Amino acid sequence: MSTNDLPQSAGTVIIGAGIVGSSLAGELAERGRDDILLIDKGPLSDPGGSTGHASNFIFPVDHSKDMTKLTSVSRDIYRDFDTFTNSGGIEVARTEERMEELKRRVVSAKSFGEEAELLTPEEVEELVPYLNTDIIKGGFYSPGAGTCDPLRAGELYRQQAKDKGALSTAANTEVTDLHVEDGDIQAVETDAGTVAADEVIIAAGLWSPKIAEMAGVDIPLSPAVHQMVSVGPIERFEDGEGEINYPVVRDMDTQMYERQHGNDIEVGSYEHRPILWDVDDVPSIEEAPLSPTQPPLTEDAFEQSMEHALEIIPDVLDDPDAGIRHSIDGLLSVTPDGHPLLGPIPEVDGLWSCAAIWIKEAPAIAREVSKWMTKGHPDIDIVAHDHVARFDEYGETREFVKSRGAEGFQKTYGIVHPREQWQSTRPLRTSAFYNRQEDLDAEFFEAGGWERPRWYESNADLVEKYSDEIEGLQRPNEWDSRWWSDIILGEHLHMRDNVGMIGDTGFGIFDIVGDDAMENMQQLCVAEMDVDVGESAYTPVLAPNAGFVSDLTVARIGENHYRVITGGAHAGQDKTWFQNHLEGDVELIGRSSELATLGVWGPNAQELLNELAEEEMSTDTFDFAEMKEVTIGPVRVQAFRISYVGEYGWELYVPMDQGQKLWDTIYEAGQEYDIRPVGTGVYGETGRMEKSYRLMGAELEIDYNPAEAGLTFHGVKDADFVGKEAYVEAIEAENAATLCTLSVTDHAPDGGEPRFMTGGEPILDQDGDVLIDDEGRRSYVTSAGTGPSVGKHLLLSYLPQEYANEGEELQVEYFGQHYPVEVEVVGHGGVFDPEGDRLFRNDY
């Protein structure tokens, strides 16, 4: 029961006063929200959620640029509040494989601007004298790592907002319902009364799904156990001042950490079997002996971790006076892909999610979400990979969340390959082609929940056939070739020589329908949308700052009917963006699960389809980018003359129930041409890289504008659109950086095994220094892929203007080695067929 007098209304209600909710209160007040109410069912300053039992250390280096940045900004915020202790941190390796991974982490640190170095066991010992260096191969030292005090930081954030007169708090107040009317959030009901609200943010940590359910929506996370014990008193620590005097140690191969906390050492583990909770089983504050998120340690699960801790730091754990003083199954939040759940909840206007966030990145995420709420977009990209809507239409069931959450838990300190695939709950979304593809021994990758063939083992003969072309492009190194096959190169060459069929590409598809459809589309897209029915455009969608919200294809299939086609992994984000911006007589209708997509591309595509289609399919009847209905065998499809692989041909959109018939019809007739099914290894990598086609979330992101991305070929239309002003400014201004295509000119400069970069590596000048543009942005590989038709391994990277010159010689760092690279293309345009002769079929 609350003792606070709840206001009758508030502009903004934040549910949850842990580090996330408290940071949000402070950051929103900073950005002008002046009527904020922060509610928590627990007491302040520790309301009993995960913030209260976190081990509070901050390791800044991550293989993701955005996470590294968010952590670094959070560290600055904790430091400004005087709640950060810079202890440094060391990740130790017990195996050679881990040492390689640590090298990769040094490379990521360099890419994203964080200090880091490798240490020998002796150097580790100098920094952490109590560590048993007999069992380690070395370490990764992050001098910028440290520990923070999130409870204190939360207090200071709240105080800051209160000092502005912008915040009131209601502790010990439990939210019992959310009122939604006509898709708008109306009010928050609590056990102390109801508060009308314009906007509501769910920042309730592992209780977030429960709160979301009150509004009839999903926040797909699950509580999961992270075991932690505290051992003390340790004599060695008694003389030190403050909380921590030695670097935090992460024993990566056992998925554990050991960190000094005053006179104790905290030993935490992600090694134990995944123990996932149901949110309804989490006890109330009154029922919980310690706190709701600190249930007692499951002893048998921790047994192996004790052994490993005793191996790595026996000197402190065997201190004769030291005992286990505290042990918990600490509950935290896991999500299906390990990323946070942020942003506007698509189904309810004014309802936001800010959940599943680690202490180390919480303040910065709160800052970015508050920008998103107040000015329409964040400045660090938390949209592409962290949007709460990314599991839209498929990944929100409890079983899915739990199985993926459990799988992801085991990867917490894992060596995760950039192409690594999830294993659990598959297949989940299968297209109409799935059975046929399985028969052809497809190796499936997943995107947006859809099973998509990456390559087909049945095409193994193509490797032999094209052995001359692909010589030197195969990957002898195990890491480089993991989740990859040289069959991809064969499929690629076959498609360029002949014809290939690619499906299903797992697109996110939705229609925008209504009298005001055109005006809305104009407002949201850079390209001209007032086009003839049947015409289409590939267009950026921009935030007000001209950063990328999305790039997608729009076809006008009726006077008041547009079809939007976007990447499957980005469907939920884009739908939410459109949904939240639509005005007037217009509605959004999801089509992703209704339509299967089959691309037929290559020199023989026209001949093959012409034989099958009732209508003529040729350059005479189809302009480039034209979409219209044709009949192929017994099936009616929307044929779209476009391509992401730089070839002449069509994407065929077919009702899901007739997709298999379409596949069979084309596959059988195609035997005459030796048609091959081709995987997304070609579609998403080799084909697009040869053409330097950009990928949302890789090249296209909030940090770079369309001029820098080389996507201003639309010019500036007359109609107004979101981001127009900044877009015009970007076109007129001198680029600070430009997206370039580079090729690796020597894969083994020091001899030995040739290596092939996978993405994320820093670009260096001839002196070995990372390139940094005038805005402080560092150059790194946004995408990497082999171009078999050009015989080169290709990299995309934004380069500072002075380096963005064709023929410029630079270097790329990969696992600690430098490799020479050369700039092939500056800005728009591919290495292969730069004039687009194939795509436009200019030679026919």
Partner 1 sequence: MEVLTAIKRVPETGAKIVLTEDKRDIDTSSLGFTFSPHEECAVEEGVQLVEANGGNMTALTLGEEDATEQLRSAIAMGADDGLLLPTDGGEWGPKATASAIASAVEAEKTDFDLFLFGNESADTANHQVGVRVAEHLDVPCVTGVKDLDVDGDTAVAKREIPGGAEVYEVDLPAVITVKEGLNEPRYPSMRAKMQARKASVDQVEPEPTDDGLELLELEVPETDDSPADILGESPEAADEVVDVLEELEVL
Q: How far apart are CA 197 and CA 193, in angstroms?
A: 13
* Min CB(294)–partner 1 separation in Å: 10
Q: Is the dihedral of CA 306, 307, 310, 311 positive or negative?
A: negative
* Residue (of 427, 828, 462, 830) closest to 681 by Cα position: 462
Q: Is the dihedral of CA 131, 135, 138, 139 positive or negative?
A: negative
* Residue (of 404, 413, 426) closest to 335 by Cα position: 404
- Identify the bridge partners of residue 820 per DSSP, sorted by sequence position: 811
Do residues 601 and 647 lie in contact, with contact meaning Cβ atoms separated by under 8 Å? yes
* Min CB(323)–partner 1 separation in Å: 3
* Min CB(154)–partner 1 separation in Å: 14
Query: If you search the block for the tokens 């918990």, which residue do you land on?
Result: 328
Nearer to partner 1, 278 or 530 (CB): 278
Do residues 574 and 525 lie in contact, with contact meaning Cβ atoms separated by under 8 Å? no
Nearer to partner 1, 276 or 790 (CB): 276
Q: How far apart are CA 151 and CA 147, in angstroms?
A: 12
* Min CB(214)–partner 1 separation in Å: 22
Q: Residue 767 has what DSSP assignment? A: T
* Min CB(254)–partner 1 separation in Å: 14
Sites of contact with partner 1 (CB under 8 A): 1-3, 172, 229, 231, 267, 281-290, 295-297, 299-300, 303, 306-307, 309-310, 317-318, 320, 322-325
Q: How far apart are CA 63 and CA 152, in angstroms?
A: 29
Nearer to partner 1, 162 or 398 (CB): 162
* Min CB(241)–partner 1 separation in Å: 25
Nearer to partner 1, 214 or 285 (CB): 285
* Residue (of 567, 800, 520, 804) closest to 700 by Cα position: 567
* Min CB(255)–partner 1 separation in Å: 17
Q: How far apart are CA 687 and CA 788, in angstroms?
A: 9
Residues 6+ apart with CB under 8 A from 281: none
Give me 441's structure tokens. Answer: 């021994």
* Min CB(266)–partner 1 separation in Å: 12
Nearer to partner 1, 304 or 523 (CB): 304
* Min CB(384)–partner 1 separation in Å: 38
Do residues 388 and 219 lie in contact, with contact meaning Cβ atoms separated by under 8 Å? yes
Do residues 762 and 769 lie in contact, with contact meaning Cβ atoms separated by under 8 Å? no
* Min CB(300)–partner 1 separation in Å: 8
Nearer to partner 1, 156 or 826 (CB): 156
Query: If you search the block for the tokens 């504050």, which residue do you land on?
Result: 285
Give me 234's structure tokens. Answer: 């340790």
Give me 491's structure tokens. Answer: 């499929």
Element housing 257 (H / E):
strand 256-261
Q: Residue 618 has what DSSP assignment? A: S
Nearer to partner 1, 333 or 789 (CB): 333
DSSP 52-78: GG---EE----SSHHHHHHHHHHHHHH
* Min CB(314)–partner 1 separation in Å: 8
Nearer to partner 1, 306 or 731 (CB): 306
Q: How far apart are CA 715 and CA 399, in angstroms?
A: 47
Rg (CA), the chain: 27
Nearer to partner 1, 174 or 486 (CB): 174
- Identify the bridge partners of residue 787 per DSSP, sorted by sequence position: 792
Nearer to partner 1, 309 or 489 (CB): 309
Nearer to partner 1, 281 or 620 (CB): 281
